[in-house]
Amino acid sequence: MRLFRFICLFVFISSGFTLFAQQISPEMKTANNLLKEKRYNEAIDAYKMILKNEPDNGKLWYYIATAEYSQKKYNEAITAYLNASKTLTGPIVCYNLAGVYALSGDKENAYKWLEKSVEKGFSQYTTMEKDSDFESIKDEKRFNDLLEKVKIINNPCLSRDEFSQFNFWVGKWDVVTAADQPAGDSEIDLMNNGCTIVENWYSKTGSVGKSFNYFDTTDNKWHQFWINQNAQKTTFEGKLENGNMVFYSYDHVKDKKNPYLERLTFFNLGKNKVRQYDQKTTDNGKTWTVQYDLTYNRKTNSK
DSSP 31-77: HHHHHHTT-HHHHHHHHHHHHTT-TT-HHHHHHHHHHHHHTT-HHHH
Work out the percent of the chain whose per-residue pLDDT is above 90: 85
Is residue 270 over pLDDT 80?
Answer: yes
- Of residues 14 and 212, more confidence is placed in 212
Q: How far apart are CA 92 and CA 121, in angstroms?
A: 9
**Do 106 and 196 fall within a single domain?**
no
Q: How far apart are CA 69 and CA 202, in angstroms?
A: 57
**pLDDT at 193 (0 to 100):** 87
pLDDT tens string 113-157: 999 999 999 999 999 999 999 999 999 999 999 999 998 888 888
Prediction pTM value: 0.64
**Do 9 and 150 fall within a single domain?**
yes
CA-to-CA dists, residue 266 to 53, 114, 165, 252, 296, angstroms: 66, 44, 11, 21, 10
Task: Provide the number of structural domains found in the chain.
Answer: 2
Q: Are 137 and 107 in contact (CB under 8 A)?
A: yes
* No. of helices (H) and no. of strands (E), the chain: 9, 10
φ/ψ (deg, to 5) at 41: -65, -40
Range of the domain at 273: 162-298
Q: Which of these three, 132, 158, 184, is where a domain ends?
A: 158
**pLDDT at 8 (0 to 100):** 59
Average pLDDT, rounded, for the chain: 92
**Do 185 and 145 fall within a single domain?**
no
pLDDT tens string 64-99: 999 999 999 999 999 999 999 999 999 999 999 999
**pLDDT at 16 (0 to 100):** 45
Q: Which of these three, 134, 158, 182, is where a domain ends?
A: 158
